[in-house]
Amino acid sequence: MSVFGRLLPTHIDKKISVGFVLALVLIATGFVLTLYSYNWYREDSKTIEDTHLLRNRLTNVLLRLREIETGVRGYVFSKDTLYLENYARNIQLVKQEISELQKVNHDELIAARIDSLETLAKIKMQIAQRQMAAVKNREEASVLPVYMRIDKLRMDDVSRVVNEMLEREQVLMPERRDVAKQSFQNTVILIFVVSFLTFVTMVVSFNLLDKELGRRQQVEDQLRAYEEELKENIRQLKASNEELERFAFVASHDLQEPLRKIQAFGDLLEQRYNSQFDASGLEFLRKITASAERMSKMIKDLLNFSRISIAQEEFRPINLAEVVNRIVDDQELRIKALGALVKVDPLPIIEAVPSQMDHLFSNLLSNALKFSAQDEKPLIRISAEAVDGADYPELIGGKTYYKITIEDNGIGFDEKYLDHIFKVFQRLHGKTSYEGTGIGLAICKKVVMYHKGHITAQSEPNQGATFVIILPEKQLNYEHDRAITNETHSYSVS
C-alpha cells in the first residue's frame, strides 16, 4: 500500500483532509451558534412568560385586595366575624404575590409601579384594620364612613396602578412575541444554513474520497498486474538462467573428454615422433598443447562458475581466518617464488558456504599475486571490520556485515573498467602478458551475490588495487532479508 501511495498526487489527500476539517469546523461552529441562538430565543421566550406571570400576579393581588375590602365591609355592617374568615389568609397571599412580583424580570417603570402597588396595598390593609378596630371599640358611627371612603379611594388607586401595568404589558406583548418569533426564525435559519454547508462540504469530501479510493484501487490493481507480470518474468528468467547454467555445466563436462584426447595424443606425438618434426612442426605441436591446457583451465573455471548456483550446500558458521590461512598454505610455493609477503589480520566468523569461500579467497589471492609489479616484491594484506548495512544502498539497514579488504601493491587498473573486470571471460590484459581465463573475478562476484553481499574494487594504474567484499554475519536470522536473486550473466566466447 505504501508503494503506490507514494505514486499518487498528495494534493487530493490534502483536499480531502481540508474538506473533513472544514466540515468539523462547521459542525462545531453550528453547535456554538445554535446554542447561542437558542439561548437568545429562550431569553425572549422568558420575557413573554414573565409578562404572563406578571399579569396573573397583578390580577391575584387586585382580587385578594377586593376580597379583603368585601370582608371588612361585611363585618362593619353586620358585626359578624364570619366575613373575616379569609381575612388573614388574603393578607398573607397579597404579601406573597407582591414579593413574587418583585422577583420577576421587568423594566424600571414596572418596578416603580410595583413599589407603588406595595405601598398602596399596605395602606389599604392598615385602613381595613382601623375599620375593624373601630367596630370592636364601638367608636362613633361618624368615623366609619370616613374610613370606608378613604378605603375606596386607596382601592381605586390600587386598581389604577394595576390597570396601568396591565395595559403596558398588553402593549408590549405583541412586540415581545415578534421578537421571540424572530429569534426562533433566526435559530431555524442558522441551523439550516450551517447544516446545509456541512452537508455540502461532506458531500464534496465524500466525492473526493470516493474518487481517490477509486484511483488508488485502480493503481493497486495495476500494481498487482505488474507484480504478477514481474513474477512471471522472474520465473521465466530463473528457468532460463537455470537452463543456461545446466547447459554450461553439461557442455563443460562433455568438452573435457575430447579435450583430454587432444592433450593425450599431443603428448604421444611429442614423445614418439619428436625427432621426425622440424622446428616449425614442434612449435605447432607446442601451441596445440598450450591451447589445450588453456582451454582445460577455462572449462574447469566455467564448471566452478556454474556450480555456484547449482550446488545446494547449506550455510554454516565459517572461520574466514582458517579459510584464508589454508589458501595461503596451498599457494606457499608460488608466494615464496615471488618473494611475496601476505599479512592476514583477524577475520570474523560468518555463515557461508565453505567451498564457495574457498573459491572466493583463492581467486582474490591468486589475482593479487598474478598482477604484481615486476620491480617490487608483492605485498598483500587481508583485513576486516564490522559495518552496518545502512551505510550501503545495496544492503539491508540494521543488519551486521563484515567489510573484508584485500590490498596489494600490484599494477592496479583504471577504475573506468571496474564493471568490466567482474564479467565472464573479460580481461584487461593480453593472454600472453598474464595467464588466466578471465573467469576468476566473475566467480568472486557470483559467490558474493549468492551470499547477499556486495563486492567492488578501488585502484589506480601502477598504484595497486584494493578489493572490498561485504558479507553478512548471518544468512537466515532476519525476517526482512531480501530474496536471493540470480544475476543474469552474458556468456560470450572469443
Boundary (domain end) residue, out of 161, 195, 215: 215
Is 290 a member of any domain? Answer: no
79: in domain = yes
pTM: 0.46
Does residue 252 or residue 489 have the better pLDDT? 252
Per-residue pLDDT reduced to its tens digit, 140-193 = 666 777 777 887 788 888 888 888 777 777 776 777 677 767 777 777 787 777
Long-range contacts of 143-149 (CB under 8 A, 24+ apart): 144/76, 148/73, 148/76
What CATH number is associated with residue 440? 3.30.565.10
Q: Answer whether residue 446 is part of any domain.
A: yes
Torsion of CA 433, 435, 441, 442, to 10 degrees: 110
pLDDT value, residue 319 = 93
Whether 396 maps to a domain, the answer reads yes
Specify whether 208 is located in the same domain as 331. no
Residue 438, in any domain of the structure: yes
The CATH number given to whatever domain includes residue 96 is 1.20.120.1730
Q: What is the dihedral angle through the alpha carbons of 438, 442, 444, 450, rounded to the nearest 10 degrees?
A: -160
477/332 same-domain check? yes
Domain boundary, last residue among 200, 215, 230: 215
Total count of domains within the chain: 2
Same domain? 203 vs 320: no
- The verdict on 206 and 355 lying in the same domain is no
Q: Does the pLDDT at position 295 exceed 80?
A: no
Distance between CA atoms of residues 429 and 21, nearest Å:
70
The distance from CA 366 to its chain's CA centroid, rounded to whole angstroms, is 52
Q: Which pLDDT belongs to residue 245?
A: 67
Residues 325 and 433 both lie in one domain: yes
pLDDT tens, position by position, 298-316? 677 666 666 665 556 788 8
**Domain region containing 363:** 315-494
User: Quick check: is 292 in a domain?
Assistant: no
Q: Are 385 and 403 in contact (CB under 8 A)?
A: yes
Query: To 5 degrees, how large is the angle CA 271–CA 277–CA 279?
Result: 115
Task: Out of 185, 215, 245, pick the residue that ends a domain.
Answer: 215
Cell 526482512, residue? 480
431 or 82, which is more confident?
82
Higher local confidence (pLDDT), 126 or 242: 126
Collapsing DSSP states into helix, strand and coil, what is residue 377? Answer: coil
- Give the max Cα distance, the chain: 190
Domain presence at residue 224: no
Within-domain flag for 285: no
Q: Bridge partners of 380?
A: 342, 408
Mean pLDDT for all residues in the chain: 76
